[in-house]
Amino acid sequence: MFILVKSRRVILSLLVIIALIFLATPLAWADNPKSIVLFIGDGMASNHRTITERVFGKKLYMNTLPITGIYSTDAANTIVTDSAASATAMATGQKVNTEYVSTDRRGKIAYETIAEAARRLGKSVGILTTTRLTHATPACFGAHARNRYYIKKIADQYLEQDFEVWMGGGRRDFIPKSKENRQEEDKNISSKRSDERDLLKEFSQKGYTIIRTKAELMALNIGEDTKVFAAFTQSHMPYELDRKEDLPSLAEMTAVALKILSQNPKGFFLMVEGGKIDHASHANAPATVVHQVLALDRAVKAGLDFLSRHPDTLILVGGDHETGGMSMGYGGFKGDKWGGYFMRPDQLLNVKHSQDWLAFKSYRMARRDPAKAVELIKETLGISDFTEEELKKLLDAAELTKREGKKARTPNMTYMPYWLGFTYLKILSDRARVGWTSYSHTGHPILITAAGPGSEKFSGFYHNTEIAKKMAALWGITLGSKPIVKKPRKK
């Protein structure tokens, strides 16, 4: 009995000691994160985050982080920004005009990005996206250019940066113009370059493992010196609703990147972009939007898992601007009667493919057989109780498609050029009572959530430039700038 009491005391004291260690540990890391993971949902604001929760009926991980802030996104020249000016602000702390990639107006000064600053501090760097790697958001962290569409210039600079991890789409921007100069695996892709440089080969010569498939990514042997350049697709990666098993999810990419970057005892900076929330919002395609947000959320979960094992990591989840003016609730009338306040997010739950997939496929089908195209839409949206009126609208649109083909123009030609696709998206949004005010971006402020050391600095209402400044301040630095020296052209 006595022994039992004694051992109980020992156990109790041990428990107290362990509890004290646990309590003291976070204090030691209180303000300075060794590493930072910045998740950016392109086009994602609080509305996208909330509607996704309503559709799937569960809390998003990104909405459970303890600290919440909000920021405005206007560019130097407009209240409604683009992805380049907004990512420049978030990466460098500078307000620039739209389309500028981390440079001043004349393209003579390169504004230091938080990724470059991490490198300056001896930390590792990773850039992940579901768009082409040269797209505006990743570009603003890894390159400097007067215009976001200077693709070759942006791709070439990535090679010079010597960051540890690049993953995304857009292999076409890194392979030689002529087929005969390309490596075997890249022969079937058309290049967007105007020269014969094989950047994949050059990356490989600099010690990078070149990755083109999910299998290669999963088989990667990670060591201290691992550097990866992964461009999985010719252009953007597919929407989550259309993704096949041969391509990794953003969450899988994030988990591998974290493994590579955490080899560095000095820490790292990782930017993870859910890049196609924006594209789906431009198209006013509500089901695709929520699946893209969910895919980003799974990546956030990978970040939070990492945080639980590495408490010296700061996790941030924000966006670059709002796209679509997406609203929870729309209309308010049922026919000509006041319908009250309602929303039917369940209408989006059974959709099986993205708007790109369905609009194209139903277009092709409508050219031959309009009624069959309507059947395909019903089946793919997983909706069995369309009203007579809705079915008539769809059939009319399918018949117009048969008669006019591509001459039937929509008001949203860039993101939804198919009249039948445009029509079904409108019906789908109406049924779910999701409203849209724009085919473009809006000036709506952005929600940011944060966890880990330094996260409390991100509460409040501020400008997007503060994101970069706050991250830099947590590392005890300010972001600099330097003149851009023109290099002689490489033949």
Chain residues in the site for Zn ion (CB under 5 A):
42, 83, 278, 320
CA of residue 74 relative to chain centroid, distance:
19
Instruction: List the one residue out of 171, 222, 216 whose CA is nearest residue 198.
Output: 171
The rounded distance, in Å, linking the Cα atoms of 301 and 37 is: 12
Least Å from the CB of residue 321 to Zn ion? 5
Least Å from the CB of residue 48 to Zn ion? 12
Nearer to Zn ion, 322 or 356 (CB): 322
Nearer to Zn ion, 112 or 320 (CB): 320
Q: What one-letter code names the amino acid at 169?
A: G
Tokens 């993953």 found at: 167
The answer for residues whose C-beta is within 8 angstroms of residue 243's C-beta and 6 or more apart is 237, 249
Least Å from the CB of residue 83 to Zn ion? 3
Q: What one-letter code names the amino acid at 93?
A: G
Nearer to Zn ion, 83 or 113 (CB): 83
The rounded distance, in Å, linking the Cα atoms of 48 and 45 is: 6
Least Å from the CB of residue 278 to Zn ion? 5
Burial grade of 49 (CB within 10 A; 0-12, 13-18, 19 or more): buried
β-pair partners for 127: 166, 271
Nearer to Zn ion, 100 or 419 (CB): 100
CA of residue 451 relative to chain centroid, distance:
19
Nearer to Zn ion, 40 or 307 (CB): 40
Phi, then psi, of 19 in degrees rounded to 5: -60, -40
Nearer to Zn ion, 214 or 444 (CB): 444
Least Å from the CB of residue 137 to Zn ion? 6
Least Å from the CB of residue 464 to Zn ion? 11
Least Å from the CB of residue 73 to Zn ion? 9
CA of residue 424 relative to chain centroid, distance:
26
H-type alpha helices, 409-464 = 419-432
The answer for residues whose C-beta is within 8 angstroms of residue 131's C-beta and 6 or more apart is 42, 137, 138, 168, 169, 170, 236, 237, 273, 275, 276, 279
Nearer to Zn ion, 42 or 53 (CB): 42
C-beta separation of 99 from 79 below 8 A = no
Q: Is the dihedral of CA 27, 30, 32, 38 positive or negative?
A: positive
Phi, then psi, of 442 in degrees rounded to 5: -125, 170
Least Å from the CB of residue 366 to Zn ion? 32
Instruction: List the one residue out of 69, 75, 79, 107 whose CA is nearest residue 88.
Output: 75
Phi, then psi, of 258 in degrees rounded to 5: -65, -35
Least Å from the CB of residue 100 to Zn ion? 14
Nearer to Zn ion, 135 or 182 (CB): 135
CA dist list (Å): 76 to 45, 97, 458: 20, 5, 22
Nearer to Zn ion, 42 or 173 (CB): 42
Least Å from the CB of residue 80 to Zn ion? 11
CA of residue 49 relative to chain centroid, distance:
13
Nearer to Zn ion, 80 or 222 (CB): 80
Least Å from the CB of residue 193 to Zn ion? 24
Question: DSSP string spanning 314-347?
Answer: EEEEEES-EETT-EE----EETTEE--S---GGG
Q: Which residue's Cβ has the minimum distance to Zn ion?
A: 83
Nearer to Zn ion, 124 or 464 (CB): 464
Nearer to Zn ion, 138 or 452 (CB): 138
Least Å from the CB of residue 89 to Zn ion? 12
Least Å from the CB of residue 133 to Zn ion? 15
Burial 97-132 (b: 16+ CB within 10 A, else e): bbbbbbbbeebeebbbbbbbbbbeeebbbbbbbbbb
Nearer to Zn ion, 115 or 210 (CB): 115
